[in-house]
Structure 1
């Protein structure tokens, strides 16, 4: 009788552990869930980058400014920091008014925080202007810190700096 009870207990434990293993196999680990969310967030940010580039082509400084958080900051080279939508719009409008203005940029890396509410976008840009009728090209790098606001990714801080030596030449 004791052997039968022991076998019954052992069998019950084995069945219970099999059910637990099956549940664990079907469960999504926190790391996998974060990875899936992170990939979706990265895609959303890439979508924002594409939208931004379209707005640059359209020279729509007002819409570009709305891509920033309320307290966002734009830090272009050789110009004062633009804080808030009005100043950011003014900075972008001034840049885009330069004759021959053309800007393209591309992320090299987008890293989403584990909390899923902030991200880092690091990349390169190519800027062309012709203020005196002669085309000038600048290449450089940028960093945008994105923050998720009410489910939408917005630029909280945006800094650009040139690869050219001081003096532009």
Structure 2
């Protein structure tokens, strides 16, 4: 990995920690000003205000304990990097107290903004089998 790709891998580790800590402020620090969050089964959240609202809703509904595995990090232009990850762990649903497995595949498009890598676009989908 070149230096930019390594910096992105480091950002992804910070993102994992922010998710596990239900830390909206830390997540928001990693998003570009025009960032887009595209969670499975939900409409896209476009722009920082909408992204923040979406993460606040996620963290009020669930607690994640996941570990990211970086599958690939590819610099596609001087200020753009594509990253693909897989995550696995557990989720606790606050409304019911139920806990279960959590596993996703994720795609990140990152942009260098004022010299720092930021999440420009992020989407994920589950790799868990359908729940019965």
- Range into which the TM-score falls when normalised by the shorter chain: 0.7 to 0.9
Query: Are residue 86 (structure 1) and residue 45 (structure 2) matched?
Result: no
1:118 pairs with 2:87: no
TM-score, with length taken from structure 2: 0.86
Contact conserved, 2:63 with 2:92, CA < 8 A, in 1? yes
Q: Indicate conservation of the 8 Å contact 1:98/1:129, yes or no.
A: no
Q: Please, what TM-score do these two structures have when normalized by structure 1?
A: 0.69
The answer for unaligned runs of 5 or more in structure 1 is 1-37
Aligned position for 1:5: none
Q: Which has the higher strand share?
A: 2
Quote the Cα distance in structure 1 between the aligned partners of 2:32 and 2:59. 21
Partner of 2:22: 59
Bigger shift: residues 63-72 or 148-157: 63-72
Q: Deviations over 1:110-146 (max 9, x none)?
A: 0012x32101100101252232222121312010001
Taking CA–CA contacts closer than 8 Å with sequence separation of 6 or more, which of the two structures ends up with the larger relative contact order?
2
Contact 1:118 1:147 in 2 (8 A): yes
Unaligned runs of 5+ in 2: none
Shift of 1:68: 1.1
Tell me, yes or no, if structure 1 residue 151 matches structure 2 residue 111. no
Q: Secondary structure at the match of 2:61?
A: coil
**Which one has the largest radius of gyration?**
1
Aligned residues, how many?
A: 130
CA distance in 1, matches of 2:123, 2:64: 18
More helix by share: 1
The answer to whether structure 1 residue 128 and structure 2 residue 90 are counterparts is yes
Match for residue 69 of structure 1? 32
- SS of equivalent residue, structure 2 residue 9: helix
In structure 2, the CA distance between the partners of 1:54 and 1:138, relative to structure 1 (3 Å rule), is: closer
